[in-house]
Amino acid sequence: MTPWTFFLEHRSEILEATLAHLLLVITAMAIAIAIGLPLGLLIVHRPALRNISLGIASVFQTIPSLALFGFLIPIPFIGGIGRRTAIVALVLYALLPILRNTYVGLTGIDPAVLESAEAMGMTEAQIVWRVRFPLALPVILAGIRTATILTIGIATIAAAIGAGGLGTFIFRGVAMVSDAVILAGAIPAALLAILADILLSWIERRLSVA
């Protein structure tokens, strides 16, 4: 059986898995952004919280993904078998690039710009929303792009705990020792990652100035 014939015979199943995969990634990214962005804003002026949150987010990055999925299964409410556990794990992985880039973007601004903003009589909130945030946006988006690509890859492993998605084909292919079945999961996953990269790079370029 060639990969192509397998692909043709199972195209509706593959499409369904791709959509499930995409939904997993989008859900996880939406939650990670909803946590990472505000937290990144918050830690600009709070060094203690900054060290703790960046530290915790870094620790999760060091845990091998298969192990993290395993660790989460016995935890009540967020654990168990299925999509919910997978989303929790994906959020934990996506958090660091978003949080770190938000913080770096907001703080890596020309000091002369911040000094004149302050000296012109802008309030702290005006400086954040009209100066820091628009200037940090390209860096923040780069973090979101990194996190998205990372999440698309890691989400394939989520199939191991019954979350579905393209990983289902990969695990099945490994068990069947069939390259064709593995590729049916791996190729769409790679394509998703490439498309996400292209789309998010384009948005990044559109929004960056100077």
Partner 1 sequence: MNTKPAPLAESTIEFRDVTYSIGGISDDSPHALVSNISQVISSGETLVLLGRSGSGKTTLLRLINRLLLPTGGQVVVQGLATSDWDAIRLRRGIGYVIQDAGLFPHFTVAENVALVPTLEKWDADRIAARVQELLTLVGLDPQDFAARRPHELSGGQRQRVGVARALAADPPVLLMDEPFGALDPVTRAELQREFSALARRLGKTIVFVTHDLREALLLATRIVLLQAGRIIASAAPQEFLRINHPEVQAFAASLGALPGAPA
By the criterion CB under 8 A, which residues form the site for partner 1? Answer: 110, 112-123, 126, 131, 134-135, 209-210
Of 67 and 119, CB closest to partner 1: 119
Shortest Å, Cβ 126 to partner 1: 7
The Cα–Cα gap between 191 and 14 comes to 13
Q: Are 6 and 181 in contact (CB under 8 A)?
A: yes
Of 98 and 117, CB closest to partner 1: 117
Q: Which of 39, 207, 61, 89 is nearest to 146 (CA)?
A: 61
Of 57 and 117, CB closest to partner 1: 117
Shortest Å, Cβ 205 to partner 1: 14
Of 33 and 136, CB closest to partner 1: 136
Shortest Å, Cβ 137 to partner 1: 9
Q: Are 183 and 192 in contact (CB under 8 A)?
A: no
The Cα–Cα gap between 128 and 124 comes to 6
Shortest Å, Cβ 101 to partner 1: 18
The Cα–Cα gap between 70 and 210 comes to 46
